[in-house]
A and B are shown apart, each in its own frame.
Chain A
Amino acid sequence: MERLFIFLYQYRAFFTFLVLELFCAWLVVENNQYQGAKFYNSSNTVVASLNNVSQNIRDYFLLRDVNTSLAEENAQLRKQLEHDNQRLQILDDTVAIKDSVLITRFDFVSAKVVNNQVDRFKNFITLDKGNDAGLEPGMAVISSSGVVGKVKAVSSHYSVVTSLLNIDVMVSGLLKRTGHFGSIQWSGKDPDRINFMYIPRHVKPVVGDTVVTSGYSAVFPEGVMIGTVDEVSLRDEALWYELKVKLSQDFRKLAFVTIVKSQMKHEQDSIEQVVKEMEE
């Protein structure tokens, strides 16, 4: 026993090294789980408020861009509102909508970006809204020009979002013109472009085709813009196209985002769960 202690003491540097490295590796693996409320991230109040100060300084240099994009969004929204109003007028005369749940299926909360990353393999975004605004892990985050990501962790006033620019994230996408759906995943290199996979051979996608969310996952509302096809390639023996999509949202200029609260996500998830269990 004594020999063992002497041995351990002699090589204490090496053993401390091992223990610390194993602990770090465990933290990394634990953190890689796609979702989860963790304390040690930038939704932690001290870290987030420091980030907030730093972002406030950066904001001054982005003011012009932000103003322009907000004005554009305003115009767009006003146009859409007018459009929908007119349609409702017509609908009201013919049918009465029975299920009010369907109308209020999605609820929207606006938030400011406090910290944003685009250059790493796994990018995250910190927002200035948290639990108190009703945010929960798993909610979708979009902006006026496209999909942004999915809420990962929430504290009382801040939240961390897994950006679409994260090699672990997969989103279901739809080729709008033909109606075929596939998966969207980032390759880790170019923050402007993203891969669109599993479009079968017989489809003929062309450069410029629009890609939107498919709504199969119930996280994102259907038809949110992702981007436009930028590059089409098909290897001779491949089953699927390799498509590159140019993102409609410039992630480097992200300033304000909208969080989508899906009222019916639980319902869809639970009924799908039941079907899965029945099949097993």
Chain B
Amino acid sequence: MNRVSILQILSFFIYLFYQVLILQNVVLAHTAFCFLYVAYLLMLPVETPPLTLMGIGFLMGFAVDMFYESIGLHAFACVLIMYLRNFWLNSVTPQGGYDSNASPSLAMSGTQWFLIYAMPLVFVHHCALFFMEAGGFRMFGFTLWKAILSTLFTMVVILIAEFLFPGRRR
């Protein structure tokens, strides 16, 4: 149990409670939601093994679900992006590769790289979430619109958080 993993566990709970106690009430125009807790999952260290990633994703999603009254939904979306994360990280490797023990954050490789890395994953997460919640593709247009707006909102909030606390979790 070194210092880094204690910090990780601590920030797990900070992200979780910030999400369920504060951001749960923040919804713009009944369509744009903010799921900042995804940032925690995206910024886990690069060399975390895939099984651990999915385990943490499941735990985070399940905990959020308890508060959101939607058991299984967030867990499903989180496990999905945690599975895709390593493939995506490998295909967007920045020049010079990853340092050992680095976490894929804004401070590591700049805004542009971070957007390319985070945006698609956040979008996949939101799509999985909203389409499962709607119970299929009955309201395709509206659900997609919800997912797009929420992705933008979440990304803006993640960027703000990253600029406010740069490199805090490196």
Q: Does B121 make an interface contact (CB < 8 A)?
A: no
Interface residue total, chain B, C-beta cutoff 8 A: 33
Given A38-B71, A119-B27, also A189-B142 (CB < 8 A) = yes
Instruction: Say whether A167 contacts B134, CB under 8 Å.
Output: yes
Instruction: Say whether A24 contacts B30, CB under 8 Å.
Output: no
Q: Which A1-37 residues have C-beta < 8 A from chain B?
A: 12-14, 16-17, 20-21, 23-28, 30-32
Find chain B residues with CB under 8 A from A31 CB: 70-72
Q: Does B99 make an interface contact (CB < 8 A)?
A: no
Find chain B residues with CB under 8 A from A27 CB: 71-72, 75
Q: Does A160 make an interface contact (CB < 8 A)?
A: yes
Q: Does A124 make an interface contact (CB < 8 A)?
A: yes
Find chain A residues with CB under 8 A from B58 CB: 20, 24
Q: Does B54 make an interface contact (CB < 8 A)?
A: yes
Q: Does B132 make an interface contact (CB < 8 A)?
A: yes
Q: Does B6 make an interface contact (CB < 8 A)?
A: no
User: In whole angstroms, what is the CA distance A121 to B147 when docked?
Assistant: 13
User: In whole angstroms, what is the CA distance A32 to B76 when docked?
Assistant: 15
Instruction: Say whether B71 contacts A47, CB under 8 Å.
Output: no
Shortest CB distance B31–A (Å): 8
User: In whole angstroms, what is the CA distance A236 to B46 when docked?
Assistant: 60
User: In whole angstroms, what is the CA distance A40 to B65 when docked?
Assistant: 9
Given A13-B51, A16-B51, A24-B79, also A41-B69 (CB < 8 A) = yes
Q: Does A191 make an interface contact (CB < 8 A)?
A: yes
Find chain A residues with CB under 8 A from B31 CB: 119
Instruction: Say whether B79 contacts A28, CB under 8 Å.
Output: no
Instruction: Say whether A20 contacts B133, CB under 8 Å.
Output: no
Given A16-B54, A21-B80, also A117-B30 (CB < 8 A) = no
User: In whole angstroms, what is the CA distance A23 to B79 when docked?
Assistant: 11
Find chain B residues with CB under 8 A from A32 CB: 135
User: In whole angstroms, what is the CA distance A148 to B27 when docked?
Assistant: 21
Given A12-B51, A54-B21, A188-B134, also A21-B71 (CB < 8 A) = no
Q: Does A157 make an interface contact (CB < 8 A)?
A: no
Contact residue among A24, A50, A51, A54 (Cβ-Cβ distance under 8 Å from B72): A24
User: In whole angstroms, what is the CA distance A126 to B73 when docked?
Assistant: 19
User: In whole angstroms, what is the CA distance A12 to B52 when docked?
Assistant: 12
Find chain B residues with CB under 8 A from A190 CB: 30
What sequence of 0s and 1s flags, for each residue 115-137 of chain B, a beta carbon within 8 Å of any chain A beta carbon?
Answer: 00000000000000010111100
What sequence of 0s and 1s flags, for each residue 63-83 of chain B, a beta carbon within 8 Å of any chain A beta carbon?
Answer: 001111111110110011001
Q: Does B33 make an interface contact (CB < 8 A)?
A: yes
Shortest CB distance B50–A (Å): 4
Given A119-B33, A120-B133, A188-B139, also A40-B71 (CB < 8 A) = yes
Q: Does A118 make an interface contact (CB < 8 A)?
A: yes
Given A20-B79, A24-B79, A27-B72, also A50-B21 (CB < 8 A) = yes
User: In whole angstroms, what is the CA distance A17 to B82 when docked?
Assistant: 9
Q: Does B25 make an interface contact (CB < 8 A)?
A: yes
Instruction: Say whether B30 contacts A191, CB under 8 Å.
Output: yes
Instruction: Say whether B79 contacts A21, CB under 8 Å.
Output: yes
Q: Does A183 make an interface contact (CB < 8 A)?
A: no
User: In whole angstroms, what is the CA distance A241 to B123 when docked?
Assistant: 38
User: In whole angstroms, what is the CA distance A251 to B145 when docked?
Assistant: 23
Given A27-B75, A119-B33, A190-B30, also A13-B50 (CB < 8 A) = yes
Q: List 11 A-B contacts (CB under 8 A).
A: A20-B54, A21-B76, A24-B58, A24-B79, A26-B72, A47-B67, A119-B30, A120-B133, A121-B133, A122-B69, A188-B134
List 12 other contacts, CB 8 Å, given A24-B75, A41-B69. A16-B51, A17-B79, A25-B76, A28-B76, A30-B72, A31-B70, A38-B71, A40-B65, A50-B67, A126-B69, A167-B135, A189-B30
- Pairs A-B, 8 closest by C-beta atoms: A27-B72, A24-B76, A28-B72, A124-B69, A13-B50, A24-B72, A17-B83, A119-B27
